[in-house]
Structure 1
């Protein structure tokens, strides 16, 4: 049963990230590829972790939060990781809702100012 491994270049292509991003994720210990000489190889574990990292970034989580959450699986297991995920998601949902309210307010204010300016131009 052979495991599929991706090269550094294949990993960048699969996840549409720059080499710099991938090296940084390794540097901050989010990923730990196998090394053979100067080559890096990414197995199923690293592919799964990268999927979770990018999903976390999409939702607005900080890399340090993601790193700690991923480490939790190694030390405390799946249930603790899932409970922590629910707590993190709840906090992030509140923060995103607040940001959305601020954006909606700014949009309404900008529209009103635009309409007022447009009206003044018409007079």
Structure 2
């Protein structure tokens, strides 16, 4: 974070971020960011006891958060991030994401079918119970009348 006593940015000097700035931006806790650092996903430089995050760290945090949101494990995310420097065009990185993304799609499609079947069963059960209660002369819910 810049203060009034910091020297002005020189041409080409990279913008840096504090842990608090990143935590606020990505709506995670500083503890989460430190955890990602412990896992080797981020590697900020140090300025005394303070962590100083680069634009690259911010971009990596963007990918970490997106990967988590999409259901990828931290190990998968780390493997993906590590592939960034393998080649200039990130071909292996894209192949990795494509393969793992396809696996995730297949897994989610199975889960979707399971959820749909469960909902169907629950709705059928609900209908049976409501009909049974009505046949017994009872209201389906405590707070409603027949």
After TM superposition, the score normalised by the length of structure 2 is: 0.80
Superposed counterparts of 1:14-93, under 5 Å: 14-77=25-88, 78-93=90-105
The CA distance in 1 between the partners of 2:29 and 2:126, in whole Å, is: 39
Q: What SS is found at the alignment partner of 2:86?
A: helix
How far does residue 119 in structure 1 lie from its aligned partner after superposition?
A: 1.2
After TM superposition, the score normalised by the length of structure 1 is: 0.94
Q: What value does the CA root-mean-square deviation take over the aligned residues? A: 1.2
Indicate conservation of the 8 Å contact 2:83/2:93, yes or no.
yes
Structure 2 portions without partners, runs of 5+: 1-11, 136-146
Q: How many residues align?
A: 123
How far does residue 118 in structure 1 lie from its aligned partner after superposition?
A: 1.1
Deviations for 1:17-72, whole angstroms, at most 9, x for unmatched residues? 01221111000001111111110111110111111111111111111001011111
The CA distance in 2 between the partners of 1:42 and 1:14, in whole Å, is: 13
More helix by share: 1
- Point out 4+ residue stretches in structure 1 off by more than 2 angstroms: 74-77
Bigger Rg over Cα: 2
